Amino acid sequence: RALTRHLRDRGAMRVGIFSNSNLSREEMVVRVRKTAPMSGAFLAEDVSTKKTYVVKPPQGVPTHFKVAAIDLGIKGATPKYMARLGIEVHVMPATSTFEEVKSIKPDGVFLSNGPGDPAAMVDVIALVRSVLTEGIPFFGICFGHQILGRALGFDTYKLPFGHRGINQPVVDLTTGKVEITAHNHGFAVAAPKANEFNTVYGTGRVTHISLNDSVVEGLEMNNTPAFSVQYHPESAAGPHDSTYLFERFLNLMQKPQLDFKAAN
């Protein structure tokens, strides 16, 4: 209980668990403090694929689109889910350049979940800005959502308590519908929730917020074909309230030049 109260008042922090140690309490604290903090951490490259691989639609499902999926720590279920919708998914390394992405002539770009501090992902942020400039349909989830936020010019920040688990309530500000969603993130996007925002890529808005702490959980652009969510719509096992977002991505690739709302 004392530990719970300590974390409640001070937020998530680094910890050390020692067993049969001859270290003094002071030496233990020194060791814990030497561990790398999450702020500024560049971790995606460690968990990303080293070479591009392709996930094709299963037999009997026609291929409608080709998507470049930038792997920042992608889950296996994600490209498989998109493939079932008729998308040929090219899963590419986190270090991929915009020229490498364009070389496969994708109909859309997907930015996956992954670990680390979004502020450290300078090259991927630049990649997303090039995607937005070219008007290529874009969908980001979790880490990809945070990177879209930074590409649009917003700050990101570390949450005092990260969102973890498969029962996180999120409200769609357009419909008022509450979705139960799967979360695993310790950072968030500092975008204005009350009104539409202006960026160099046009206007946009916050689409979803957390009902627990009002954290921004979704972004969309009004005239640029791009949107993102902070949670995992393809969670397995987990809730399936938000799998419709992949179909929204399909619609966006069908109508990339239309207003985003018209593509829903």
Confirm if 64 and 87 have CB atoms less than 8 A apart.
yes
Q: Indicate the pTM of the whole model.
A: 0.85
Rounded to whole angstroms, how far apart are CA atoms 70 and 74?
8
Q: What is the pLDDT of residues 183-220, one digit of tens each?
A: 988 899 999 998 899 999 999 999 999 999 999 999 99
Q: What pLDDT was estimated at residue 54?
A: 98
Q: What pLDDT was estimated at residue 263?
A: 47
Tokens of 7: 């974390």
H/E stretch holding 143: helix 143-151
**Residues with catalytic function:** 142, 232, 234
The domains of the chain, with CATH numbers, are 2-34 (no CATH), 44-263 (3.40.50.880)
Average pLDDT of the chain is: 89
Confirm if 100 and 92 have CB atoms less than 8 A apart.
yes
Q: What is the pLDDT of residues 84-95, one digit of tens each?
A: 999 999 999 999
- Pairing between β-strand 202-210 and β-strand 216-221 as defined by DSSP bridges: antiparallel
- Side-chain-facing half-sphere of 20: CA atoms under 13 Å: 0
